[in-house]
Amino acid sequence: MTIKGDLIKQGAEARIYKTTFFGRETIIKERFVKGYRHPTLDERLTKRRLIQEARCLARCQKHGIEAPTVYFLDEETRSIYLEFIPGKTLRDFIYSSPSQDDLFSMSDKVGELLSILHNTAGMIHGDLTTSNIIIQEGTGKLVLIDFGLGSVSSLAEDKAVDLYVLERAFISTHPNTEHLFQRILDSYKNTSKKAGEVVLKKLDEVQQRGRKKLAFG
């Protein structure tokens, strides 16, 4: 099946289209062919990632985490058809200069969401940025999107790296927001208690390794 709509984004891994699929607003995520890979390997890896992303989204919903519904998986065109979520990204929300109270409230919600993702659902997002969290229009609910690098893991190290990726995203995209990220971590810890403490302790180690890498290259 080949359905194309309006190209709304093109990243390193995929093109993102918006279209209509059986009367529903839909996002199509079409993965690129990687010319530097052997065709058989590329096809195998792409198929695995498509299936893994669909499984991650289904697992989110099973655990009460807001995520797009998967409508269709098309291995032939390397595409996954997803529910369109109206709203603004967390990135755009932060850039819109909301009040400090609203920023703190949103940070608390993000921390709670990520704690449930990691410590209840046992999932790793793989690419946590403020562009991959949508504040749903009408409900205000936080919706996680883009699980192209998602996985299932119970390891504190994997969870800590996920948080570290988000921290780096805050540093590069939202300067002078260290207090917001700390608020996210506090909420994360309060939501998961002992499990959260273990992850944040591991995060300290990951941050130290990151600082050494930045210092010595």
Which residues are known to be catalytic?
127
Burial annotation 27-45 (CB, 10 A radius, 16+ → b, else e) = bbbbbeeeeeeeeeebeee
- Please state, in angstroms and rounded to a whole number, the distance separating the CA atoms of residues 114 and 190: 12
Grouping H, G, I as helix, E, B as strand and the rest as coil, residue 73 is: strand
Mapped onto helix, strand or coil, the DSSP state of residue 107 is: helix
DSSP E strand boundaries for 60-170: 70-74, 79-83, 87-89, 123-124, 133-136, 142-144, 151-152
Cβ(207)–Cβ(168) below 8 Å: no
Contact at 8 Å (CB) between 83 and 71? yes
Instruction: Answer for the pair 87, 143: CB distance below 8 angstroms, yes or no.
Output: yes
